[in-house]
Structure 1
Amino acid sequence: MRIVADENIPLVNECFGDLGEIIRLPGRNMTNEDLQGADALLVRSVTQVNAELLQGTPVRFVGTCTIGIDHLDTAYFDNQGITWVSAPGSNANSVVEYVYAALAHLNVDWKGKRVGIIGCGNVGGRLYRRLKAQGVECRVYDPFLSTEQIPELTSLTDVLGSDIVCMHTPLTRSGPHPSVHLLGAEQLKQLKPGAVLLNAGRGPVIDNQALLNHLESGADLKVVLDVWEPEPDISRPLLEKVALGSPHIAGYSYDGKMQGTFMIYEALCRHLGRTPEKDLSALRPSVADPQRHWAGGEPWPAIQRLVPQVYDITEDDRQLRELAERADRGEADFAKGFDRLRKEYPKRREFGNYRVTGDYSEEARVRLEALGFRVK
């Protein structure tokens, strides 16, 4: 069996090595010729997998180690009898921690704020439950859910009136509730002054040109963008205007990537009629220095000091802006650099790998656990 895999997927050899020959290639540059003789294809979100890529190849299994599937032509797969799978929820925790890190850097304590969540699936749902555990007031817009599932379900207009608006919806262009340009010029005007708008779902869910126009008009809005329209050659004027920008890496924790790989490994085993023999806990490397100290005092300032010790989001922002500056001087190709930042992204480990010690109150303990840290 021959397996072609995106070179950025971790633990590929460890998980799939016993199943066949593995060929690792750059995900964005895969061609039909690369797949001649391949039985299975493993990708991430940068590879557009469609008839053009697969036609005339023996590929019978496509697995994306990501939660999103807008890069997959699933109708074509179904028509051709090609098994396809994704990894829903694999990086949900990573994205939630990205939200926490962004808000901590912006000094916006979600406790005492009203948080609006657009899209309450694996990622938005986890964020919702974590915030509710801390007593945070939430409002949710998701036309595919009911109030029985989410009591705080409401209209998009109501959600846009929140202090913090987090977007975690997939990208859809058809159906009863398409998400493409869900936020356009009119919706952006509904955001309250001083609000935070964070998109860690898919770039085209916000009309990026309308957002740039809105910010250039002097809107009082803190914007955090991990996803853009289009990628990888994003709007650099928009990057200049946002409070934090990153190269589509919110879900790029090493733990989330490993979970995604393992989910696809289990799916390929099912496809082949084999029993999975690997154990992710045995494959996952431990953290060299897993202990962090609680500095004491009021919870919020202590959280602001603690979070960057594990994940410093400002480094992602710095590297993207530095790339833009070099591209403006003609010293770098921005699109290639954007992909390189993703390819060479450091092994960010999730909060759950760290134990927080020290003297903390019951309120602090609840918040630390909701953040995902281990406590005594």
Structure 2
Amino acid sequence: MKILVDENMPYAVELFSRLGEVQAVPGRPIPKEALASADALMVRSVTKVNESLLSDTPVKFVGTATAGTDHVDDGWLQQAGIGFSAAPGCNAIAVVEYVFSSLLILAQRDGFSLRDKTIGIVGVGNVGSRLNARLTALGIRTLLCDPPRAARDTSETFCSIDKIVAEADILTFHTPLNPSGPDKTLHLVDAAMLEALKPGAILINACRGEVVDNAALLNALNGEKKLTAVLDVWEPEPDLNLALLDKVAIGTAHIAGYSLEGKARGTTQVFEAYSQFIGQPQQVPLASLLPAPEFAEVSLAGELTEAKLLRLAHLVYDVRRDDAPLRRVAGKSGEFDRLRKFYEERREWSSLLVHCDNQGTADLLKKLGFNSDVA
């Protein structure tokens, strides 16, 4: 049994070698000749999986170590009788912490408190729901927009996108990319929406680049409303608009979900799915794969302020470490993908144990995703 894996999937060779012969290959593009003898293919979001790639190959299973699946023609896979698995939620925590790092930095830079802002979350799936839980734990007002979920879930209070545009000081997008249909998200953020935003609004896109009309956003950032933008995803990738990069407050190379934990979850989820598919079910405890973090524990005195949260968060991850490299190499051929391929190890907040001097702070930190105790 031969299994092709994206060379940038951590732990993939180690895990899939338990099931067969493994060959690590570049993800953009997958060499067609390598597929000629492959039984299974494990990819990330950079690989377009469709009939053109897999027709006349012996591939019987495709796994994507990503939460999103818009790079996979799963309808064709089903018609072709090819098994398929994704990794929903694998990188959700990493994206949430990317957004938090960005928000805390902007609050410090511009001298505002997040508790004084209304944050609109568009797309309330694995990422959006976790982000909402952490924001509300801090006492921050949120507005939630997710029409497909609102149609089937009455347990949450959802609102229209128009209400978010009218009332939110900060808008953060966590939707799939739907090119058409009633829940179309292609260019959901267009010139009209940007014109309707509150002056000084902050826009964050860490889902798919095409959800935001990048040309319209550039025009808006050059306008009089003093908008602020944080972009992890671009239209198009990897050849992003350099003028837009110059205007955004924070710009990164589609790495919001790139925590070590998130990558490991993605790999283990598709590994477990494939092992089930071939009748050799195996489970892998995530902790058995992860190394010790650089910062394992710290002590915190008193109540948790936003300034203290900023310092704690940035002991683990500071988004500015990813903004600067993109600006240095932007426009150079292959450098966008190179930043992703050789991404520096990054951990999640749960890797840090915070020793507190009161139970209230310890409980709040747990809600925010840290490990904590009362020392």
| Range class of TM-score, shorter chain | over 0.9
Select which of 318, 326, 333 maps to 2:324: 318
Distance 2:5 2:348 in 1: 25
Q: Unpaired segments of 5 or more residues in structure 1?
A: none
1:14 is displaced (CA, Å) by 2.3
Residue 155 of structure 2 corresponds to residue 158 of structure 1: no
- 1:79-132 CA-partner distances (Å, limit 9, x unpaired): 101111100000000000001100111125432321100000111111112222
Deviation at 1:203, TM superposition (A): 0.5
Inter-partner Cα distance in structure 2 for 1:106 and 1:150: 32
Shift of 1:361: 7.5
Q: Could you say which residue in structure 2 is the equivalent of 1:44?
A: 44
Shift, 1:367, TM fit: 4.0
The equivalent residue for 2:115 is 111
Deviation at 1:157, TM superposition (A): 0.9
Q: Map of 1:225-264 to 2, 5 A cutoff? A: 225-264=231-270
Question: CA-atom RMSD, angstroms?
Answer: 1.7
Residue 137 of structure 1 aligns with which residue? 141
Q: Is the 8 A contact 2:275 2:282 kept in 1?
A: yes
> Which position in structure 1 is the counterpart of 2:59?
59
User: Does residue 1:100 correspond to 2:100, yes or no?
Assistant: yes
* Aligned-partner residue type, residue 306 of structure 1: L
How far has the Cα of 1:138 moved from its partner?
1.2
**Which amino acid is 1:204 matched to?**
E
One of 343, 362, 369 as aligned partner of 1:372: 369
Query: 2:207 is matched with which residue?
Result: 201
Q: How many angstroms does 1:150 deviate by?
A: 5.0
Change in 2 beyond 3 A, CA 1:340/1:97: same
Q: Which moved more, 1:345-354 or 1:155-164?
A: 155-164
Contact 1:134 1:366 (C-alpha < 8 Å) held by counterparts? no
Q: Which residue of 2 aligns with 1:354?
A: 352
How many angstroms apart in 2 are the aligned matches of 1:294 and 1:241?
A: 36
How far apart, CA to CA, are the structure 1 residues paired with 2:197 and 2:363? Answer: 30
> Which of 163, 174, 177 is 1:168 aligned to?
174
Residue in 2 that maps onto 1:182:
188
Q: Is the 8 A contact 1:225 1:244 kept in 2?
A: yes
Structure 2 unmatched ranges of 5 or more: none
Q: Distance in 2 between matches of 1:340 and 1:292?
A: 33
Question: 1:244 Cα deviation (Å)?
Answer: 0.3
Structure 2 contact 366–372 (Cα < 8 Å) conserved:
yes
List per-residue Cα deviations over 1:49-78 (Å, max 9, x = no partner): 111111110001000000000100111101
Larger deviation, residues 352-361 vs 341-350: 352-361
Separation in structure 2 between the aligned mates of residue 234 and residue 295 of structure 1, nearest angstrom: 44
User: Tell me, what secondary structure is at the counterpart of 2:53?
Assistant: helix
**CA separation of 1:225/1:287 partners in 2, compared to 1, >3 Å: closer, same or farther?**
same
Per-residue CA deviations over 1:251-294 (Å, capped at 9, x if unaligned) read: 00000000010000110011101120543322222224301232
**Would the alpha carbon gap of residues 248 and 295 (structure 1) be closer, same or farther in structure 2, given more than 3 Å must change?**
farther
What percentage of aligned pairs have identical amino acids?
45
State the 1:298 CA deviation.
6.1
SS of the equivalent of 1:219 reads coil
Name the structure 2 match of 1:71: 71
Equivalenced residue count is 367
Please say if residues 31 and 53 of structure 1, whose CA atoms lie closer than 8 Å, have aligned partners that are also in contact. Answer: no
Aligned to 2:226: 220
Q: TM-score, normalised by structure 1?
A: 0.93
Q: Distance in 1 between matches of 2:130 and 2:284?
A: 27
Q: Is the CA contact (8 Å cut-off) linking 2:295 and 2:315 kept in structure 1?
A: no
Q: Cα offset for 1:195?
A: 1.8
- Partner in structure 2 of residue 338 of structure 1: 336
Distance across 1 between alignment mates of 2:156 and 2:280: 42
1:132 and 1:146 map into 2 onto residues whose CA distance is: 19
